[in-house]
Amino acid sequence: MRPHTLVVGGAEFKALIAAQTVDLLARWYAADEADGMNLGRFKASWMPAAWRKRQAIAGLINGKIVGWIHLLVRQDGVALLESLFVHPDKRGGGYVRQLVREAINRAFRDTVQTLEVYALDRDEGNDQLWEHILKTPPNTSGEVVLSSSPGSPLKAKGWRLPVPEARRALR
């Protein structure tokens, strides 16, 4: 798999948003919830209004995108991994680990010291995935409020760890 930085809002980016929306709908999200999550119509406790850096990193196989992950660096210098997605027909091929490794290595090259990742409680299996990848249990929490349902926050488990420790976990 070859990493490729996508232009946020470009054609490839929009195609992946569409594929990710289909995946969210298959996981029992309502249409307005899936749209809200993919179009940024939400407020997450771990996400500020301004970023120092935002990258959408895609994984390419023979020129075709198999998945993506966002690397966001907050103004306080903490890196966030968001929107991890691999096309359903490409899952199980190690692409999740490769995408996560690429994002963490980019954070490391940018001299970011701390990494955070969050998994919504209702996304069954995501917490086990992150615990497996990072080789540590969750140690923080957060919540997301969707614009479509402002009175019902979605709870999330989180991982906050030093970037070098995250890199070691992926070796």
Could you state, in chain order, the average pLDDT of each consecutive group of 10 residues for the chain (171 residues)? 83 76 70 65 77 87 89 93 89 94 96 94 87 96 81 89 96 87
Name the phi and psi angles at 130, rounded to 5. -65, -40
pLDDT of 40 reads 64
* Alpha carbon of residue 138 to chain centroid: 15
> Rounded to the nearest 5 degrees, what angle is found at the Cα of 104, between the Cα atoms of 100 and 107?
145
Q: Which residue range(s) make up the domain with 52? A: 2-169
> Helices (H) and strands (E) in the chain — how many of each?
5, 8
pLDDT of 11 reads 80
pLDDT of 41 reads 62
CATH code for the domain in which residue 15 is found: 3.40.630.30
pLDDT of 37 reads 66
How many domains is the chain built from? Answer: 1
pLDDT of 150 reads 66
